[in-house]
Structures are given as structure tokens and as C-alpha cells.
Structure 1
Amino acid sequence: MGTNNTTTLIIALAMVLTAGMMMEEAKSYPICNTDTNDLQKCYPAVTGNSPPAPGPDCCAVAKSADLECLCSYLSLSGIDRSKVKAVLASCGVSNPSCL
């Protein structure tokens, strides 16, 4: 698969994941050692101007997800990396190499 095809596939996957996270009853897809519905538990804490602190469910997801794997999706999601760092720090999780 060429570079353009790979980039297109990654962008399409990111769009599907973002849409899935926005839908209230989205189907769950496994990605990076967790399900997309589980990732949604952290969405409020990494978006908006004054995001709330992450809850225990979000921290559980942060501790179990393959954060290095999620790095490639983070750059396509539009989520602020500094907010992700704050969530991980609040949950006591080490930052992946992309942060």
C-alpha cells in the first residue's frame, strides 16, 4: 500500500472513530487495546475550553489502553495534546513518546 493510500486509510479511520465517539450508542470497535466506546469516557476531559477532571472510568481506560498505539490517532483527531497530558498526569499514567 502506497503512502497516499495509507494516509487516506488513516484519515478515514480517524473520521470513523471520531464519529463513533460522538454518537450516543455507537458500536464499539477495538483499537489500541481498548474499545472506542471506552475511549469516549475521556472525551470530555480532553476537549473544550475548560474540560472537567477525568473521572475514574477515564483513568481506567488511560491505564489499560496502548497509549503508544493511540499516538497515531491523536494527531488526526484534533484533540489538544496538552489536555491529554493533563489527563494522564491526573490519572498517574506516564506520557507516551508522542506527547
Structure 2
Amino acid sequence: MAAGKFVVLMVMVLLMVEGSRAMTLCGMNDQGLEACKPSVTQPNPVDPSPECCKALKGADLTCLCSYKNSVWLGSLGIDPKLALDLPPKCKLQMPSFQKSMKLLSHVDVKMFANLVSVLC
């Protein structure tokens, strides 16, 4: 009986630790997404900060481009055109057109929930 309680306690601790870790979106963590938010939202977008460019440099740009036509961007206040303008402003090579036009077949619910909590 005591061993069963210990296992349940350990599982709960592991779930809490895993749940507290920051999620990433295409290689960008919460801080990177937050750093880029002022550059991708209207009405007065600003040039990307060094922190934003650093986050983009480590991100999977092809993955980020796959969100270009996502209905979720508008609901988060993100202007897709402004988002596509970020890599050149950070002097980063844009992924090929064909790769960036891939559409996602699904959206990871946890990732979307985390993105909403960071950007909203």
C-alpha cells in the first residue's frame, strides 16, 4: 500500500515538473515569442529587438512559415505579413518558398494554449 502511494506521489511530482517547463514553438521559447510580439502586432509594429532576432536565429523558420495561413494568428493579434518580414529585418535567410507554403495538418493543442498564454 505504501509503495502504491509513493508511485502516485512520484507521478504527480513528475507531471508538475513537466507541466512547468516552457513549451517551444518551432524552436522559439516563451521569451523569444514575447520578444518578437511588438514587431508582429498592429497598429504600431516596431523593428525587431536584438532578443527577437536572436530567438529567430535559433528557430526553425520553415516551421514558423507553416503557420502563415493559420486562422490562429489573427486571433492572437499577429499580422502574418509583419511576421514574414522579421527574418529579413534580422538579416536571416528566408526558407524556400515551397517549404514555407506547407500547411499544417493539425495544431498541437498544448502548443497553441502556451502560445496564447504568452502572446495574449
Please indicate the TM-score interval, normalised by the length of the shorter structure.
0.5 to 0.7
- CA deviation vs aligned residue, 1:50-88 (integer Å, no higher than 9, x gap): 201111000001111001112233423222222123222
Higher relative CO (Cα under 8 Å, sequence separation at least 6) belongs to 2
- CA deviation vs aligned residue, 1:5-57 (integer Å, no higher than 9, x gap): xxxxxxxxxxxxxxxxxxxxx96212212213321110110101220111100
For structure 2, which runs of at least 5 residues remain unmatched after alignment? Answer: 1-19, 102-120
Instruction: Write out the 4+ residue segments of structure 1 that deviate beyond 4 Å after TM superposition.
Output: none
Residue in structure 1 matched with residue 49 of structure 2 by the alignment: 55
1:82 aligns with 2:81: yes
RMSD of aligned residue pairs (Cα, Å):
2.3
TM-score by length of 1: 0.61
Alpha-carbon separation, structure 1, partners of 2:30 and 2:64? 11
For structure 1, which runs of at least 5 residues remain unmatched after alignment? Answer: 1-25
SS in 1 for 2:38: helix
Structure with greater Cα Rg: 2
Equivalent pairs, count: 74
Alpha-carbon separation, structure 2, partners of 1:77 and 1:27? 23
Residue pairs, 1:20-31, within 5 angstroms: 28-31=22-25
Alpha-carbon separation, structure 1, partners of 2:47 and 2:29? 21
Are the aligned partners of 2:36 and 2:48 in contact in 1 as well (CA < 8 Å)? yes
Counting aligned pairs with the same residue, the percent is 35
TM-score by length of 2: 0.52
